[in-house]
Amino acid sequence: MSDSNNQKLDSEPSNKKIKIDHENDNGVNDNQLELKDFELEKILNNNTVRKTVCVQGKFKDKSGVALIVLEKNAFTEEVLDNEGYFSVDTELKTFFQNDIYGNYECFPRPSLNGVKTSIIYPATEKHIAKFSQQESHIVLETPQLYEKLTLPHINKEQFNLQWVYNILEGKSEQDRVIYDNKCERDGFVLLPDLKWDGVTKETLYLLAIVRRRGIKSLRDLDESTLPLLKRIRDEGKKKIYEKYKVPASQLRVYLHYQPSFYHLHVHFTYLRHEAPGIYAEKSHLLDTVIDNIEMIGDYYKKATLPFTIREMDNIFNIYETNGHVQRIKPNIENIELIDK
């Protein structure tokens, strides 16, 4: 576990204003954003299971749309003691008490109540679609569908990758990098994912971003990429154990298909953490990927791969137009009954 886990529990925030450094495309901080200046316009997604919410709005005196993602932090074992949640500063509000059963609301000290906050500014329509709650569908993508429909869409409409290049070129987020193999062909950078606070072991989540450009996704992997994939697996697991004391047998190491951005990257998460995107229709274990390629060198150029698309995604329109998915239509009769 990192040294930051040993910080004093009784240290309170020194400033009630939350400021977020904003970097331009060159990785340079040119201003700061403050939550007190945020003006809410719409709630895009309120996930009561994961305790996350994404809202859309704008900042005062600034142009462009902003998205803010708020997520309740997971409990850490280090604060489940008489200096943390069970300290004299913790208050209980009673809802009811019946015989041996009691139901309460707990109010621990403010330093334990942090909310993980991510800001995307300025956000594009693609970002808004990505974070909005909407219907999803599974597509079974053959190699032919990939070449005909998916690949042209990727080449035309993928997210800007400048933030990835900023990391790889040492222009941004270097204080967050925990390992850097600088081999241009088979090297990678390992750093905490934005969904992780970088401290809490229970929600450990890191990304390995490859240095070699031009590898977009699982579809581009073949026998020539085996040394790269094995290096990511072996060196990534070793470094995570050295720094966070999480053994290889408790790491989930996988790739997404489709990925959220089209520059090859590998996810490392703690096995006990139910991270987004770990399910069968999206996640491919790195060991399985390596094994498939060792058996058939061009396996992922021949395989039919499932992936999910959502109705606000532009690629959904492409697959719908070509007859591979059908949009969910609202039940008009039910709507009429509700209105009455």
Residues 6+ apart with CB under 8 A from 252: 267, 268, 269, 270, 271, 275, 278, 285
Task: Work out the pLDDT band at 233, boundaries 50, 70, 90.
Answer: very high
Helices (H) and strands (E) in the chain, counts: 9, 16
Weakest mean pLDDT among 9-18, 116-125, 219-228: 9-18
**pLDDT value at residue 31:** 62
The pTM of this model reads 0.67
Q: Which 8-state DSSP code applies to residue 150?
A: I
Alpha-carbon span 45 to 216, nearest angstrom: 28
**pLDDT value at residue 314:** 87
Task: Work out the pLDDT band at 25, boundaries 50, 70, 90.
Answer: very low
Asked if 8-117 and 134-321 have one fold, the answer is no
Burial class of residue 10, CB neighbours in 10 A (0-12, 13-18, 19+): exposed
Q: Are 44 and 55 in contact (CB under 8 A)?
A: yes
**Is position 263 annotated as part of the catalytic site?**
no
Q: What is the pLDDT of residues 249-299, one digit of tens each?
A: 999 999 999 999 999 999 999 999 988 899 999 999 999 999 999 999 999
pLDDT beyond 80 at 303: yes
More reliable by pLDDT, 5 or 113: 113
Structure tokens at 259: 């990925």
Q: What is the pLDDT of residues 144-190, one digit of tens each?
A: 999 999 999 999 877 789 999 999 999 999 999 999 999 999 999 99
pLDDT beyond 80 at 81: yes
pLDDT beyond 80 at 17: no
Architecture of the domain whose range is 8-117: 2-Layer Sandwich (3.30)
Q: Are 132 and 41 in contact (CB under 8 A)?
A: no
Domain map (residue ranges) of the chain: 8-117, 134-321
From the list 137, 265, 267, 284, the catalytic residue is 265
More reliable by pLDDT, 72 or 140: 140
pLDDT, average across residues 212-234? 97
Q: Are 105 and 136 in contact (CB under 8 A)?
A: no
The fourth-level CATH superfamily of domain 134-321 is HIT-like (3.30.428.10)
Indicate the residue type of 49.
V
**pLDDT value at residue 337:** 42
Range of 24-38, 87-101, 258-272, 317-331 with top mean pLDDT: 258-272
Q: Are 313 and 296 in contact (CB under 8 A)?
A: no
**pLDDT value at residue 125:** 85
pLDDT beyond 90 at 47: no
Q: Are 270 and 201 in contact (CB under 8 A)?
A: yes
Residues 6+ apart with CB under 8 A from 117: 18, 20, 35, 68, 69, 70, 71
The half-sphere exposure of 274 on its side-chain side, counting CA atoms within 13 A, is 4
Weakest mean pLDDT among 107-111, 230-234, 327-331: 327-331
Alpha-carbon span 171 to 108, nearest angstrom: 39
